[in-house]
């Protein structure tokens, strides 16, 4: 019952770029900040992006994000095999008074 919609999977060759979309509504992405998480196989999610486009310390600038209206996008450039993971967007939903996550996107490096 995820409120935010992401494509199930994206793929690209090493060194290439991938983008992941996250579609929401006016009550979540449209009026609140978006965050992005990376979940490597068998591990806990890790914060990748917060407040739409800010990277925590230690996150390389190969990871970038933007927001427009009720959608957000995560971009990964210079794709590496270590980037193979599931990626989730998240946001606060003002109508629900709760946080929501996206459906998740699996990134495959060909």
Partner 1 sequence: QVQLQESGPRLVKPSETLSLTCTVSGYSISSGYHWGWIRQPPGKGLEWIGIISHSETTYYNPSLKSRSTISVDPSQNQFSLTLSSVTAADTAVYYCARGPRYCSGGSCYTKHFDYWGQGTLVTVSS
Q: Which of residues 43 and 81 has its CB atom nearest to partner 1 in the complex?
A: 43
Neighbouring residues of 68: CB distance < 8 A, sequence distance ≥ 6: none
Decide: is 60 part of the binding site for partner 1 (CB under 8 A).
no
Pair type for strands 9-12 and 105-109:
parallel
Q: Which of 56, 60, 69, 78 binds partner 1 (CB under 8 A)?
A: 56
Decide: is 55 part of the binding site for partner 1 (CB under 8 A).
no
Decide: is 30 part of the binding site for partner 1 (CB under 8 A).
no
Q: Which stretch binds partner 1 (CB under 8 A): 19-27, 62-70, 72-80, 91-99?
A: 91-99
Pair type for strands 34-39 and 63-68:
unpaired
Q: Which two tokens stand for residue 94?
A: 């003002």
Q: Which two tokens stand for residue 26?
A: 């006016």
Beta bridge partners of 73: 21, 66
> Which residues sit at the interface with partner 1, rule CB under 8 A?
1-2, 32-33, 35, 37, 43-47, 50-51, 56, 86, 88, 90-92, 96-104
């Amino acid at each position: 019952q995820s409120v935010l919609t992401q494509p199930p999977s994206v793929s690209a060759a090493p060194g290439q770029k991938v983008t992941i979309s996250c579609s929401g509504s006016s009550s979540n992405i449209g009026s609140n900040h978006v965050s992005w998480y990376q979940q490597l196989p068998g591990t806990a999610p890790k914060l990748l992006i917060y407040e739409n486009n800010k990277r925590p310390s230690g996150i390389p600038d190969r990871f970038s994000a933007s927001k427009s209206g009720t959608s957000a996008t995560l971009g990964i450039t210079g794709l590496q095999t270590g980037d193979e993971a599931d990626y989730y967007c998240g946001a606060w939903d003002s109508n629900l008074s709760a946080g929501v996550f996206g459906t998740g996107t699996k990134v495959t490096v060909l």
